[in-house]
């Protein structure tokens, strides 16, 4: 197959490197800043680049790796160019809004939302890795009218690429879970380092500070879009988190050792059981 990677930043270039490493498909690539596409060819990360109008018609599967709000406009603008019955997919971190915008039965290609679930605190082509998706999940969110063979083809490609796990679900369930597993983790890491004591942590910190604060290194442009577009599930998670923090606070204020012990024992048990 010809697989086109549109956008050669952290995720796009890592997808390209993974395809080159683990599959024998031909990898086409395109990036808005042309110098990056040329470097990707020189580095062997992609096999071919060129004008986007020439690349799109050749692709059996196209991955769009843009900021969330730029994906649907790009697909709609270039819709006439996609190959008949080809698969068009993406890699952005939320799915409900995008899948609604592209919920069109009359496309001559198949759009299937996807989320290769990995990231780094740094971004851009230079930080991309052929190993970024080792141990990662590949989640995709087809429509109820997406033919099964299309979903199977996308899932099959993810397996061939070496993703540790593939999940097929609805955009809504994806976004609710991601609000918990990823978005609220970023919100709380940022909220944590905003403490007035953060600048003085050196000498007083160990593994728990390091791990809990890690994802405060955040791309504010991209995550602003992701948070706004997934507001409802994310606010629900913030509310749950604040309510649990307040239980800790009142147990401490009241010197209620039993309540405090119960809360931790519950947290410990959940973590022990679910990993």
67 touches a second copy by CB under 8 A:
no
137 touches a second copy by CB under 8 A:
yes
126 touches a second copy by CB under 8 A:
no
Q: What's the rounded Cα separation, in Å, for the pair 11 and 66? A: 9
> In terms of CB distance, is 74 or 192 closer to a second copy?
192
**The tokens of 3 are what?**
């697989």
Task: Report residue 135: phi and psi, to 5°.
Answer: 70, 10
For the bound state, the minimum distance from the C-beta of residue 23 to a second copy, rounded and expressed in Å, comes to 22
In 118-230, alpha helices (H): 148-161, 171-178, 184-193, 207-213, 220-229
**DSSP state letters, 54-101:** HHGGG-SEEEE-S-HHHHHHHHHHTGGGSPTT-EEEE--S--HHHHHH
> In terms of CB distance, is 41 or 218 closer to a second copy?
218
186 touches a second copy by CB under 8 A:
yes
260 touches a second copy by CB under 8 A:
yes
Q: Out of 118, 150, 155, 157, point to the residue binding a second copy (CB under 8 A).
A: 118
Stretch 191-220 residues interacting with a second copy (CB under 8 A)? 191-209, 211-220
Are the C-beta atoms of residues 98 and 40 closer than 8 Å to each other?
no
Q: Out of 5, 16, 136, 155, point to the residue binding a second copy (CB under 8 A).
A: 136
172 touches a second copy by CB under 8 A:
no
238 touches a second copy by CB under 8 A:
yes
């Amino acid at each position: 197959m010809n697989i086109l990677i549109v956008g050669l930043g952290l995720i796009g270039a890592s997808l390209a490197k993974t395809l080159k490493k683990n599959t024998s498909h031909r990898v086409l690539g395109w990036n808005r800043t042309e110098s990056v596409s040329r470097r990707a060819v020189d580095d062997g990360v992609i096999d071919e680049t060129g004008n986007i109008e020439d690349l799109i018609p050749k692709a059996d599967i196209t991955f769009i790796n843009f900021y969330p709000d730029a994906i649907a406009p790009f697909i709609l603008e270039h819709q006439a160019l996609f190959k008949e019955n080809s698969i068009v997919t993406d890699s952005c971190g939320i799915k409900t809004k995008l899948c609604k915008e592209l919920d069109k039965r009359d496309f001559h290609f198949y759009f299937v939302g996807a989320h290769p679930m990995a990231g780094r605190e740094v971004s851009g082509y230079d930080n991309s890795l052929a190993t970024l998706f080792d141990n990662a999940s590949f989640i995709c969110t087809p429509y109820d009218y997406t033919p099964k063979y299309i979903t199977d083809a996308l899932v099959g490609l993810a397996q061939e690429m070496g993703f540790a796990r593939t999940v097929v679900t609805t955009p809504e369930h994806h976004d609710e879970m991601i609000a918990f597993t990823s978005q609220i983790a970023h919100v709380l890491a940022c909220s944590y380092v905003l403490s007035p004591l953060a600048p003085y942590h050196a000498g007083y910190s160990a593994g728990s500070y390091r791990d809990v604060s890690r994802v405060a290194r955040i791309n504010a442009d991209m995550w602003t879009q992701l948070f706004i577009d997934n507001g409802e599930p994310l606010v629900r998670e913030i509310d749950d988190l604040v309510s649990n923090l307040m239980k800790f606070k009142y147990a401490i204020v009241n010197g209620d050792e039993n309540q405090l012990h119960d809360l931790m024992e519950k947290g410990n048990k959940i973590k022990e059981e679910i990993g």
